[in-house]
Structure 1
Amino acid sequence: MSVEEEKDVVVASETVPVVTLDGEAETGLIAWTREEERALVRKFDWRITPFMVITFIFNQVDRSIIANARLKGLQADLGMTDVDYATSISILFIGYISMAAPGTLCLHSIKSPKWFFLFVISIWGAISACTGAVQNSAQIIGCRFCLGFAEATLYPGAVYYLSRFYTAKEIGMRISLLNIGTNLSSGIGSLIAAGILDRMQGLHGLSAWRWLFIIEGGVTIALGLLAPILLFDYPAESKALSEREGYIAQARLIAERGVAENAGDDKTMSAAWQGFKLALADPVTYCFFLAYFFFIDALGYQIYQPSIIKSFGFSTTVTLVMVFPTACMQTLSVLVIAYFSDRLQKRWIFTVGSLAATLIGYIIFMATSVSAIGPRYFALFICSIGFSTGPIILAWVTQSTVYPPAKRAATIGLVNGFANLGQIPSSYYFQGIWAPAYRISMGIETVMLFMAAFFLTILMLVLRRRNQAMDRGEKDMIIPSEAALVVGEEAIRTNDAGEREEHVRKAWRYAL
């Protein structure tokens, strides 16, 4: 083998256990080339990423469609007050938080995640379509609760699913690619809504806003049917990967994390419950939750962005079209910032820096008069940069809870689920009595920005202290240990967990 070829070979730093398709564990020294690894990652990207991005577009469209429907008479037709409308927005997140963690643990526990995604996507699409038949405020509030319950698993589940395929230097960008769907949804949804609301009023005796729910819900159901075709099962079980690809997919994560995804972690509900308890016992979980909660609360203006732009004096159609450029700005910011955060493996500076940019946007918006349409619209562009914080926080979560996988699933579900409580108070920040200036609204959001930055800083300091403890050779509760494993002593001895623990303590550190 030439020198160049030797440099191109990656060898796991120790003997690692991988699992074959028939479920048998094999142990050996795994070697592969850089090109093999790049080809495998490209395979993941071509199959997983496009489907997930499109799914996230329709997820957010179905979630925020109510804002566009409001512009065409939904609130008046259903006899809703401003408080009723705000409740119909916030109630979705009550359903969301009740299922986010349990749903993600279910995804961890099942053998074939692609069928899980089929079920979840199709159910929420059906609920969204049924919303087109509501007749009063109570019915739409009920539909919105069910919608939140049904779609709760998608985001945390997708993040956990990606963590089973991608390394720490890859996952931030992939989560950000998922957020392309989230960020573009407001723009794409507005363009779709502009066509439907403008052309379908009264068709077959239905209001245009009803057609909006029916059509977009139907498209979501059709999308869900593609999940079993495009998505992979986990590397240890996937028949869409060759045996060698499955080995490499597992071994490269073991080389990074020091433990196998399957080692000491079965698929029973008792293992899932143990992972849930480990997540609750870790103070870092609460730091992530509070930081993410205030981040979501601080950018709650997005759901009201069509109403904010319409207050500039534009027609409904022009308003919906003008939402799209700000969505493009969100997308560009998320991708660029995630790229550098992954490349440099720095999380705190990029999250807090993004929030600082949003702060500048809020200040510009509050400091300008209602008639200053240009500066106010520009301020919304600057505010969009802050959305880069979300995917970086979730990438940070996956890096900070490497083992056991059940704990990672529980932590992602808890952080994402309960942090979405932040959208409940933010649903009430942009009431009609504060329009069109919205200075009080933006002032409240500014306070939330400072709170998010505060808890991100606390989180960084806690993780830095843990890294210092590991440098001194002290045990850390996140590192795999006999107390943290969710299997018996015999399995621990068989998998040689003691050596893996020593390896991780020397090589693995929390990202800061």
Structure 2
Amino acid sequence: MSLSIENSKTEALHFENVAECTLVDPEAEKKLVRKIDLYLMPSVFILYLFSYVDRSNIGLAKIAGMEEDLNLSSDQYYTAVIVWVIGYTIAAVPSNMILSRSRPSIFIPIITFGWGSVAALIGIVRHQSQLIALRFLLGVFEAGFSPAVIFLISTWYRKSEQSKRFIIFLTAGILSGAFGSIVSGAITSTLDGAHGIRGWRWLFIVEGVATAGISLLVHWTLLDFPNSSRGLSADEQKLAQARLVEDGTADRGSAETQNPSIFVALGKAVSNWRTWVLVPSYMTILGALAISYFYPTLINGMGYTSTAAQYMTAPLYLVSLVFAVPVCWFADRKPHLRGRLLVVNLVTGMVFFALTAGIRNYTARYVFLCFINMTIWTGNALGLSFATTALASVNRDVRAIMLAWMNGVAALAQLYGSALFPAQDSPEYLVGFSVFAATFAIGAVCYGVADTLFKRYPYKE
């Protein structure tokens, strides 16, 4: 304990020294940011690619034979989908509490190996209870990843740099939805029957083993924190902290202020009103993200074969990039407009959800799904950068917990989101699209209120 306190005092003194040198050399800073990008962003991009594939491939497996082989009813499939959310919500905050007091370059590879192994085991399940148990464990292991990345980006980058990094990170989810469906279609069609194993089982086995394999490599590329990350020289570590002090993002003050007990930090995070403003706002976005589990089913219901439906899922994600990237670039140029951009984005999504509910033409509906996916992923990136910017001056440990709480509790919205597309509503799914239209309208109001409150009452320690 004395050693921990002494280290904390040393760290506090280091921050005070850094604070004296807040005039950051622009050229040196650009060089450092490029180095941070080179270490951090490819690692989290690749891991999120595998993470999103491992959590969402159940939708592709469903129409590739899993439903029949396991004799899954609509309710049982819904349970298998949402139990992942329950595991995720339970584990998100404890995971970030561990992360903030450990090394991300060790913690993240460990949980990645865990969820990859669990994902591969789903390929050998024999009945519904095994599927449900493994999906729960998958949620527990994956819970530590996205909140960890959200926290790391808020720890390494200035406020005006974060939207672009979040869309780079989330692009992995977009591309996994696009190319993951193509790869999954190839796996299920070419390996079906190999060694007497059905194609949908190979889907889980191949993708899970690949995830576990990649976890063994990322330890060497992931960054830890600005004051302690290997791969950076002492001068680069000092510069990394100085630019965040200049931006109002790094912790300053006494060691006790910077390093409270982790349970004191938990209490501060839960009692801060900003947490409870951000949670319902972000819920409206994450709830809609549950529709990704049903894209293959929705397209299949338009009259396409299961394999064709897997391939036709790809364009829904590819067109999202066309919209999300320039919007996030603009949001970093004008960070004070993020709240308003979120409101406009959610209103746009509301309109297309409503149009999909009201129009039955399959071609029009497919086009509307493209626009819906655009607003979901753009809103996700803007919602994350809006939160990290609003909480930039919050103590590091408290911020880690607040962001994990926002992400974990908001994930509960997928409980209702996943229940909105039962088989008996096929192919119109009027209730599902109508509810999402309403939640996006609520989200627009929530972010409008949050933007006003955060500007009027900025956080002060």
TM bin, normalised by shorter chain, reads: over 0.9
Aligned AA (1:245):
E
Give 3-state SS (helix, strand or coil) of 1:71's partner. Answer: helix
Per-residue deviation at 1:267?
8.7
Per-residue deviation at 1:385?
2.2
> What is aligned with 2:5?
none
> What is aligned with 2:288?
298
- For 1:420-435, list aligned pairs within 5 A: 420-435=411-426
> What is aligned with 2:49?
57
> What is aligned with 2:239?
248
Contact 2:340–2:448 (Cα < 8 Å) also in 1: no
Contact 1:297–1:423 (Cα < 8 Å) also in 2: yes
Match of 2:273 among 270, 278, 283: 283
Aligned AA (2:181):
S
> What is aligned with 1:43?
35
Match of 1:311 among 283, 301, 312: 301
- When the two structures are superposed, what TM-score results if normalisation uses the length of structure 1? 0.84
Aligned length: 449
- For 1:223-262, list aligned pairs within 5 A: 223-257=214-248, 259-260=250-251
The structure-2 alpha-carbon separation of the partners of 1:32 and 1:25, relative to structure 1 and needing over 3 Å to count, comes to closer
Contact 1:53–1:179 (Cα < 8 Å) also in 2: yes
The structure-2 alpha-carbon separation of the partners of 1:88 and 1:238, relative to structure 1 and needing over 3 Å to count, comes to same
- For 1:132-147, list aligned pairs within 5 A: 132-147=123-138
Aligned AA (1:389):
G
Q: Distance in 1 between matches of 2:200 and 2:291?
A: 22
Over residues 18-68 of structure 1, what are the superposed CA-to-partner deviations in whole Å (9 max), with x where a residue is unaligned?
Answer: 998999666263244211101110111111111211111110100001000
Match of 1:445 among 425, 433, 436: 436
Give 3-state SS (helix, strand or coil) of 2:126's partner. Answer: coil
The structure-2 alpha-carbon separation of the partners of 1:54 and 1:375, relative to structure 1 and needing over 3 Å to count, comes to same
The structure-2 alpha-carbon separation of the partners of 1:49 and 1:437, relative to structure 1 and needing over 3 Å to count, comes to same
Per-residue deviation at 1:308?
0.5
Match of 2:17 among 27, 30, 33: 27
> What is aligned with 1:83?
75
Contact 2:252–2:258 (Cα < 8 Å) also in 1: no
> What is aligned with 1:382?
371
Q: Distance in 2 between matches of 1:455 and 1:228?
A: 38
Q: Distance in 2 between matches of 1:262 and 1:151?
A: 34
> What is aligned with 2:210?
219
Over residues 90-120 of structure 1, what are the superposed CA-to-partner deviations in whole Å (9 max), with x where a residue is unaligned?
Answer: 010100000101111111111x210111101
Give 3-state SS (helix, strand or coil) of 1:240's partner. Answer: coil
Q: Distance in 2 between matches of 1:24 and 1:284?
A: 29
Aligned AA (1:298):
A
> What is aligned with 1:479?
460
Contact 1:122–1:221 (Cα < 8 Å) also in 2: yes
The structure-2 alpha-carbon separation of the partners of 1:262 and 1:324, relative to structure 1 and needing over 3 Å to count, comes to farther
The structure-2 alpha-carbon separation of the partners of 1:265 and 1:125, relative to structure 1 and needing over 3 Å to count, comes to farther
Give 3-state SS (helix, strand or coil) of 1:27's partner. Answer: helix
Q: Distance in 2 between matches of 1:225 and 1:341?
A: 35
Give 3-state SS (helix, strand or coil) of 2:17's partner. Answer: strand
Give 3-state SS (helix, strand or coil) of 1:241's partner. Answer: coil
> What is aligned with 1:101?
93
> What is aligned with 2:3?
none
The structure-2 alpha-carbon separation of the partners of 1:93 and 1:465, relative to structure 1 and needing over 3 Å to count, comes to same
Name whichever of 385-394 and 69-78 sits farther off: 385-394
Per-residue deviation at 1:400?
2.0
CA RMSD of aligned residues (A): 2.1
Q: Distance in 2 between matches of 1:355 and 1:266?
A: 38
Aligned AA (1:375):
A
The structure-2 alpha-carbon separation of the partners of 1:344 and 1:26, relative to structure 1 and needing over 3 Å to count, comes to closer
Over residues 443-472 of structure 1, what are the superposed CA-to-partner deviations in whole Å (9 max), with x where a residue is unaligned?
Answer: 1111111221222122122223315xxxxx
The structure-2 alpha-carbon separation of the partners of 1:166 and 1:308, relative to structure 1 and needing over 3 Å to count, comes to same
Q: Distance in 2 between matches of 1:45 and 1:237?
A: 17
Contact 1:115–1:227 (Cα < 8 Å) also in 2: no
Over residues 133-191 of structure 1, what are the superposed CA-to-partner deviations in whole Å (9 max), with x where a residue is unaligned?
Answer: 11101110000000000110111111101112101001121111110011222112111
Aligned AA (1:399):
T
Q: Distance in 1 between matches of 2:170 and 2:26?
A: 28
> What is aligned with 1:503?
none
Establish whether residue 168 from structure 1 lines up as the match of residue 168 from structure 2.
no
Give 3-state SS (helix, strand or coil) of 1:225's partner. Answer: helix
- For 1:395-414, list aligned pairs within 5 A: 395-401=385-391, 402-414=393-405
Over residues 374-400 of structure 1, what are the superposed CA-to-partner deviations in whole Å (9 max), with x where a residue is unaligned?
Answer: 211110111122221112222122222
Over residues 478-499 of structure 1, what are the superposed CA-to-partner deviations in whole Å (9 max), with x where a residue is unaligned?
Answer: 312xxxxxxxxxxxxxxxxxxx
Contact 1:58–1:185 (Cα < 8 Å) also in 2: yes
> What is aligned with 1:177?
168
Contact 2:56–2:292 (Cα < 8 Å) also in 1: no
Contact 1:187–1:320 (Cα < 8 Å) also in 2: no
Give 3-state SS (helix, strand or coil) of 1:314's partner. Answer: coil
Contact 2:67–2:73 (Cα < 8 Å) also in 1: yes
Per-residue deviation at 1:233?
2.1
Per-residue deviation at 1:261?
6.3
| Unaligned stretches of 5+ residues in structure 1 | 1-17, 468-477, 481-512
Q: Distance in 1 between matches of 2:80 and 2:250?
A: 44
Residue identity over aligned pairs, in percent, reads: 26
Match of 2:328 among 320, 323, 338: 338
Give 3-state SS (helix, strand or coil) of 1:79's partner. Answer: coil
Contact 1:265–1:406 (Cα < 8 Å) also in 2: no
